[in-house]
Amino acid sequence: MNEQMRANTAAFEQTVRSALALAGTLGEADWARPTECPGWTVKDQFAHLAGVERDLLGDPGPEVEVPDLDHIRNDFGRYLEIAVHARRPVPGPDVAAELADVLERRLAQLPTLDPDRVVMCPDGKEGPYSRLMKFRAMDCWTHEQDVRRAVGRPGNLDAPAARCFWELLSRGLPLVVARRAKAAPGESVAFAIAGPPDFHVTVGVDENGRGHWSESAPPTAELAMDWETYVRLTAGRCTPGDAAVEAKGDQALSGRVLAAMAITP
């Protein structure tokens, strides 16, 4: 493994093991609790993680007919629902046991793979397998946090995979500010995110209407929030009205940015 592959694999393993440790504390009622991921219960989250990793191992997928569910918005969503729907009759502890087995198989497989092999990543861009593992760490951590919020057991917010989340999804902030929120040329928006992890960045808009990282001071608007709130907004887990955000400066621009922050599909 090269350094990037090793780091991303370690982040992936840490968050899956954290989720499995959490699973061991869940009662029968916990598995059926709804999460902020639309349409999915706590058990469905574990089913999703197991299903994706089995796909990456090359296991044959389950043959099930997915009904037309309200939360399925596109073909990718329908594909993701296959693993979840196939496991809906399976008890939660059994789904977690499957994920534990799949994790060990993946950890045995990963050192045998070429970290530089070009594959399609979830953002629709080709990249080395090591980059795909950064997405796997991010995805597993995002769903672990879904489960923790649903059962009221916070933790692991400052995991290595949390930084994978930031590194992958913060790249979308210039697009959010410039294109989605339609900030005008010369305007800028600062994001003050309190953790750990802590992040303080500013996005400005150039004369051509393109967003870019900026050192502009003072910004046109500033959004201050904690790390978990940023994650929930960026992952589309809540609306701005449900988020604790302190907005300073141009309130109209702040509102447009908050309304446009959901980046994950």
Check pLDDT > 70 for residue 67. Answer: no
Nearest to 15 by CA among 141, 106, 143: 141
Residue with tokens 């007919």: 65
Q: Report how far residue 255's alpha carbon sits from residue 265's, in angstroms, rounded to the nearest whole number.
A: 21
User: pTM of the full predicted structure?
Assistant: 0.94
CA distances from 15 to 8, 97, 164, 197, 214 (A): 11, 16, 11, 16, 32
Q: Does the pLDDT value for residue 69 go beyond 90?
A: no
168-207: per-residue pLDDT in tens? 999 999 999 999 999 999 999 999 999 999 999 999 999 9
Q: What is the pLDDT of residue 62?
A: 81
- Residue 218, preceding bond cis, omega within 30 degrees? yes
Judged on CB neighbours under 10 Å (0-12, 13-18, 19+), 28 is exposed
Q: Band of the pLDDT at 76, cuts 50, 70, 90?
A: low
Evaluate the omega torsion of the peptide bond into residue 196 and state whether it is cis, within 30 degrees of 0. yes
The per-residue pLDDT of the chain, averaged, comes to 94
User: Has residue 255 got a pLDDT over 80?
Assistant: yes
What is the predicted pLDDT for the residue at 72?
66
Express each pLDDT in 18-58 by its tens digit.
Answer: 999 999 999 999 999 999 998 999 999 999 999 999 999 99
Q: Is 100 exposed, middle or buried (0-12, 13-18, 19+ CB in 10 A)?
A: middle
Helix axis angle, 42-57 to 129-151, nearest 10°: 160
